[in-house]
Amino acid sequence: MPGMLLTIQEAGVPKVSVHGPKGTVEIFDAIKKFVMLQALKIDEAKCDESEPYTDPIMSVSYVPITKSSAQEKESINIGEEVVDNINYYDYTTNSNGKRVFDNAVEKERKAQKVEEKSGKARISSAMSYICRLHPRAGKLSLEKCLEKGVKPGPLFGQLKAGQDITLPDGTVILSKDVCSPTTPGPIFLIVECPLEDYLESFVNHPAFAQHQATMSNENDTPYCIIHFTPQRVMDDPRYVEWMGKFDCNTRHIVVNEENECMGTEAIHRHQHKLHILHSEIFPFLNEKCFQKKTRANDLPIIHRPRTHHTVHLQPELRFDTENEVLLHPEEYINEVYEIEGFSESLKDLQTNINILKERLSVGKEYPKIIMLGTGSMVPSKVRNTSGILLRVDKNHSMLLDCGEGTFGQIAKIYGNYRMENIIKTIKAVYISHLHADHHIGLIGLLKEREKVTQDPLYLFAPPYIAAWLQLYHVRFEPILHQMTLIPNNEFFMDTHEPAEYKYRNMYKTLNVQAVRTTYVKHCPHSYGISVTLHNGKKIVYSGDTMPCKNLVKLGQDCDLLIHEATMEDDLSEEAKMKFHSTTSQAIQAGEQMKSKFTLLTHFSQRYSVIPPLPNDDDNGSKLNNVGIAYDNMHISLSQLPLLPLMYPTLKLMFIKHYEEIEERAARRHRMTVDL
Interacting residues toward Zn ion by CB under 5 A? 435, 544
374 contacts 384 by C-beta, under 8 angstroms: yes
Nearer to Zn ion, 205 or 580 (CB): 580
Shortest Cβ distance from residue 479 to Zn ion (Å)?
23
In the complex, least distance from residue 547 CB atom to Zn ion, rounded to whole angstroms: 15
Give the Cα separation of 59 and 408 in Å (integer).
33
Q: How far is the CB of 402 from Zn ion (least distance, A)?
A: 13
CB of 579 to Zn ion, least distance (A): 8
Nearer to Zn ion by C-beta: 432 or 608?
432
Q: What are phi and psi of 140, to 5 degrees?
A: -80, 130
Q: Is the dihedral of CA 91, 92, 98, 100 positive or negative?
A: negative
Nearest Cα to Cα of residue 374 among 586, 57, 159: 586
The residue (of 67 and 433) whose beta carbon lies closer to Zn ion is: 433
- For the bound state, the minimum distance from the C-beta of residue 566 to Zn ion, rounded and expressed in Å, comes to 9
Nearer to Zn ion by C-beta: 438 or 538?
438
168, amino acid identity: P
Cβ-Cβ contacts under 8 Å for 177 (sequence gap 6 or more) = 144, 148
CB nearer to Zn ion: give 268 or 435. Answer: 435
Q: From residue 425, how far is each of 15, 454, 477, 593 by CA, in Å?
A: 42, 12, 24, 30
Burial class (CB in 10 A: 0-12, 13-18, 19+), 230: middle
DSSP labels for 498-524?
A: -HHHHTHHHHHHHT-SEEEEEE-BSST
- In the bound state with Zn ion, the residue whose beta carbon lies nearer, of 544 and 568, is 544
Q: Residue 544 Cβ, how far from Zn ion at the closest point, in Å? A: 4
Residue closer to Zn ion, measured from CB, 468 or 507: 468
| C-beta atoms surrounding 175 within 10 Å | 18
The CB-of-95 to Zn ion minimum distance in angstroms stands at 16
Q: Determine whether 98 is exposed, middle or buried from the number of CB atoms within 10 Å of its CB (0-12, 13-18, 19+).
A: exposed
**Cβ-based nearer residue to Zn ion, 544 or 559:** 544
What H or E segment, with its residue span, contains residue 132?
strand 125-133
- Shortest distance (Å) from residue 520 CB to Zn ion: 10
3-state secondary structure string, 95-116?
Answer: CCCCCCCCHHHHHHHHHHHHHH
